[in-house]
Amino acid sequence: MEKEFLSEKTFNIKDITVSASCPSNIALIKYWGKYSRQIPANPSISYTLNHCRTNTTLEFSSGGHFSVQTFLSGNEELKFADKIEKYFRSIEPYLPWILQGQYIIRTENTFPHSSGIASSASGFGAIAKCLMEVDDAFSGERGIEYKMKKASFLARLGSGSACRSLFEGLVVWGNTSEVDGSSDLFAVRYPDSEVHPVFRDFNDWVLLIHEGEKSVSSTVGHGLMNTNPYAQRRFQEAHENFTLLKEILRNGDMEGFIKLVEHEALTLHAMMMMSEPAFILMKTGTLAVINKIWEFRKSTGLPLFFTLDAGANVHLLFPNNGTEGLIKEFIEAELLQHTQNNGVVKDVMTFL
């Protein structure tokens, strides 16, 4: 299927500047473990955030020696430039013009760095959208559906989860019989008609338990799944959880949704603890917050729950259903004290 993204067209190469914005996302069923060329070992599904975004401007100067300069919030980032150079070289079969000039890439995030929000997802998503704008200018306009699919394909080759950030709402990446059109090569939107209204307007408040760099990168963590004795069972469980989630989303089963999402988050960290070598990314504050959430939900019955990425910070999920006021009061009174600097990033996932 990669052949549909190969290009042998004649290009009208010229100087051009394009801009794009792309949100981050938070996975509900987790992607953890991959094969070569960023092929996921199991399917995943995520909510796309509304406000936490990367805004990117790409300046292309045609001719001359291929080079890349990158700036994050106005500061030049040499390591990121090296990473983007390697990425551009790797996707030349799909964009044959890509090495025929110099690039200046300026990017800014609307959220703090190392905040537990996937900046690689929004960052590579924004770059992929810019590249498709340039490709259109050089080779002629194509349909929006093809552009979005190829942008998702290209984003995946930079950062796996980035392919999900190209679409709004609930988004699926990885081949599963539960979702028509799903693929290991790009992401697709989960059908809105199959999502109960209760799941279409959610809050995601990210508690910044730890604001520094992680002790183990996600790339290393994915690699350790290759020798994890529980990996195959985990991959099978992800498929099983898709079957469960499909029914949950259809019938509005909030209790089932909470149970599945929290189980997926804890399973992700269990895989880290059962790797060789083992590693733990949760902090004391992470565990304190989780226990307080469980106690609050038990005593009030209110739908506050959590998910985790590969780090210590906690994503607090709760619907806008009339109970959010009490939940927000609890978060501010009881949970913010466990953050590093009273840090919280407030976002929503809305697709009504």
The residue type at 329: E
Q: What is the pLDDT of residue 9?
A: 67
pLDDT computed for residue 351 by the predictor = 87
Q: What is the 3-state secondary structure (H, E, C) of 184-214?
A: CCCEEECCHHHCCHHHCEEEEEEECCCCCCC
**pLDDT tens-digit series, residues 91-114:** 999 999 999 999 999 999 998 765
| Predicted local confidence at residue 237, as pLDDT | 98
What CATH number has the domain spanning 2-193? 3.30.230.10
Q: Please report the pLDDT score of residue 10 as a whole number.
A: 62
Q: How far apart are CA 199 and CA 256, in angstroms?
A: 12
pLDDT of residue 240: 98
Q: In whole angstroms, what is the distance from residue 206 CA to residue 218 CA?
A: 19
pLDDT tens readout for residues 46-87: 999 999 999 999 999 998 899 999 999 999 999 999 999 999
Confidence at residue 4, expressed as pLDDT on a 0 to 100 scale: 87
Tokens at 140, concatenated: 């002629």
DSSP assignments along 278-308, one per residue: ------HHHHHHHHHHHHHHHHH----EEEE
Report the SS3 class of residue 49: strand
What are the residue ranges spanned by the domains of the chain?
2-193, 201-350
In whole angstroms, what is the distance from residue 41 CA to residue 36 CA? 10
Would you give the DSSP letter of residue 270?
A: H
Place of tokens 């992607």: 31
Distance of alpha carbon 253 from alpha carbon 196, whole angstroms: 9
pLDDT at 19: 98
d(CA 265, CA 290): 11
- The parts of the chain modelled with pLDDT lower than 70 are 1, 8-10, 113-116, 118
**Does pTM surpass 0.85?**
yes
- Please tell me the predicted confidence (pLDDT) of residue 11: 72
| The CATH homologous superfamily of the domain defined by 201-350 | GHMP kinase, C-terminal domain (3.30.70.890)
